[in-house]
Amino acid sequence: MKEIIVASGNQGKIKEIKAMLEPLDIHVLSMKDVLGDDVDIEENGTTFEENAIIKAESIMKQVQRPVLADDSGLEVDYLNKEPGIYSARWMGHDTSYDIKNQAIIDKLAGVEGEKRSCRFVCAMALAMPDQETKVFKETFEGLVNDHIAGENGFGYDPIFYFPPLKKTSAEMTMEEKNQYSHRAKALRDLYRYLEENK
Residue 72 carries which side chain, given as an amino acid letter? S
Distance CA(151)–CA(11), nearest Å, equals: 17
The average confidence (pLDDT) of the chain is 92
- Catalytic positions, written as ranges: 71
The backbone torsions φ and ψ at residue 31, rounded to the nearest 5 degrees and listed phi first, read: -60, -35
Distance CA(164)–CA(147), nearest Å, equals: 18
Nearest to 40 by CA among 26, 59, 16: 59
User: Long-range contact list for 171-176, CB < 8 A, 24+ apart?
Assistant: none
Nearest to 35 by CA among 72, 70, 14, 65: 65
What's residue 56's pLDDT? 95
What's residue 108's pLDDT? 98
Preceding omega of 83 cis (within 30 degrees of 0): yes
Residue 60, domain extent: 3-196
The backbone torsions φ and ψ at residue 146, rounded to the nearest 5 degrees and listed phi first, read: -90, 0
- Residues 36-59 have pLDDT tens digits of 776 777 778 999 999 999 999 999
What's residue 70's pLDDT? 92
List, as residue ranges, the binding site for substrate.
Answer: 8-13, 72, 154-157, 177, 182-183
User: Long-range contact list for 55-64, CB < 8 A, 24+ apart?
Assistant: 55/7, 55/125, 56/7, 56/125, 56/126, 56/127, 56/133, 57/125, 57/127, 57/133, 58/7, 59/5, 59/7, 59/31, 59/35, 59/127, 60/127, 60/128, 60/129, 62/35, 63/5, 63/34, 63/35, 64/129
What's residue 87's pLDDT? 94
Report, as ranges of residue numbers, the positions in the chain whose pLDDT lies below 70: 38
What's residue 139's pLDDT? 98
Burial of 68 (C-beta count, 10 Å sphere; 0-12/13-18/19+) = buried
- What is this structure's pTM? 0.90
Per the structure, the count of domains in the chain is 1
List, as residue ranges, the binding site.
Answer: 8-13, 42, 71-72, 154-157, 177, 182-183
Distance CA(173)–CA(50), nearest Å, equals: 31
The backbone torsions φ and ψ at residue 106, rounded to the nearest 5 degrees and listed phi first, read: -65, -40
What's residue 79's pLDDT? 98
- Domain at 98, CATH number: 3.90.950.10
List, as residue ranges, the binding site for Mg(2+).
Answer: 42, 71
What's residue 97's pLDDT? 95
What's residue 16's pLDDT? 80
What's residue 36's pLDDT? 79
How many C-alpha atoms does 37 have within 13 Å on its Cβ side?
0
